[in-house]
Amino acid sequence: MSYQQSISAPMFLRRFPDKETLVAAIAEVGFPALEIWNRGAEFKEWLGLAQKHNLKVCNMIGHRAAMNRPECHAEAEREIIESVEIAAEHGIPGLICFGGNAIEGQSRDEALDTVVEGFRRAAPHAEKKGVTLLLELLNSCVDHPGYLADHTAWGLEVCRRVKSPRLRLLYDIYHMQIMEGDIIRTIRDNIAWLGHFHTAGNPGRQEIGATQELNYAAIAQAIRESGFTGYVGHEFLPAGDPVAAMREARQLMDPSEKAPG
């Protein structure tokens, strides 16, 4: 069994007139799942549309509170507990989590210690329900200044020290291309710690085809060869026709799949 592909619905929604049209297009192109960012009323709306079109929701945001701030740990834990319950109820396998932004007077080592402590508090709840917390790696040079989990090594250290089978990295290929490159080697060497992937072209965070610098066909092959069976989620902002961009991305990441229509 190989990995499956998904669409980051909130990102693509910027190129569609409404949620209904987007979700219908995701299903028509042949994706089995979508990703969402919100809970509450908007979550219910996305979930209802996914169910209507026979799609799964493969992940959602787990918390917003900063893990590197000790005073925020109780809030982050509460948010994650609530998200875990929602995810378990609706069969959502992953929750996107964050390391927080650097604060004045806190070294990176101190921040790492604090983030580890925060995830140690939250991870047991995820373990009980069989939901995976996904610490997302983001670039701090272009899109997220000050973000702490901006290198694979930093995120890996958090996971190794927390020692939970339900804490893994969300390896965002676009963000890590900006910060460190060496994408395929990193995937091969660390696949046991990677729970989800995001794609986007660099530069520009747009389509993943031939107009940008990453060789996604080779990256896709490396992910398949690794034995990864989770989701590869497309989180780019199409510059052109968004449906055509979805079709191209789906086939590029798995040439054996032929999108319907």
In tens, the pLDDT along 59-85 reads 999 999 999 999 999 999 999 999 999
What pLDDT shows up at residue 4? 97
Amino acid making up residue 42: E
| Residue entry with tokens 């509170």 | 65
What pLDDT shows up at residue 258? 55
E-assigned strands of the chain? 4-8, 33-35, 56-61, 94-97, 132-136, 167-172, 194-199, 231-234
Q: At residue 170, does pLDDT exceed 80?
A: yes
Closest CA to 89 of 126, 129, 123, 116: 129
CA 196 to chain centre: 6
Name the band, by pLDDT with cuts 50, 70 and 90, for residue 259.
very low
108-166 pLDDT, tens per residue?
999 999 999 999 999 999 999 999 999 999 999 999 999 999 999 999 999 999 999 99
Per-residue CA distances from 117 to 68, 99, 113, 166, 222 (Å): 9, 11, 6, 15, 33
Fold entry, domain 4-253: TIM Barrel (3.20.20)
What pLDDT shows up at residue 38? 84
The set of residues, in sequence order, having a beta carbon less than 8 Å from that of 10 and lying 6+ positions away, is 35, 36, 37, 38
Asked if 234 contacts 208 with a C-beta cutoff of 8 angstroms, the reply is yes
User: Directed axis angle between helix 242-253 and helix 216-226, to 10°?
Assistant: 50
Q: At residue 167, does pLDDT exceed 70?
A: yes
pTM: 0.96
Asked if 119 contacts 80 with a C-beta cutoff of 8 angstroms, the reply is no
- If DSSP codes are grouped into helix, strand and coil, which group holds residue 210? coil
What mean pLDDT is reported for the chain? 96
**Residue 155: phi, psi to the nearest 5?**
-65, -40
Q: Do you find a cis peptide bond into 203, omega within 30 degrees of 0?
A: yes
Tokens of 94: 């992953």
What pLDDT shows up at residue 39? 80
Tokens of 77: 């834990």
Backbone CA torsion sign across 12, 14, 16, 20: positive
**Residue, of 40 and 43, whose pLDDT is higher:** 43
Apex CA 43: angle with CA 15 and CA 150, to 5°?
A: 70
Boundaries of every domain in the chain: 4-253
Closest CA to 33 of 143, 196, 165: 196
What pLDDT shows up at residue 1? 62
Q: At residue 261, does pLDDT exceed 60?
A: no
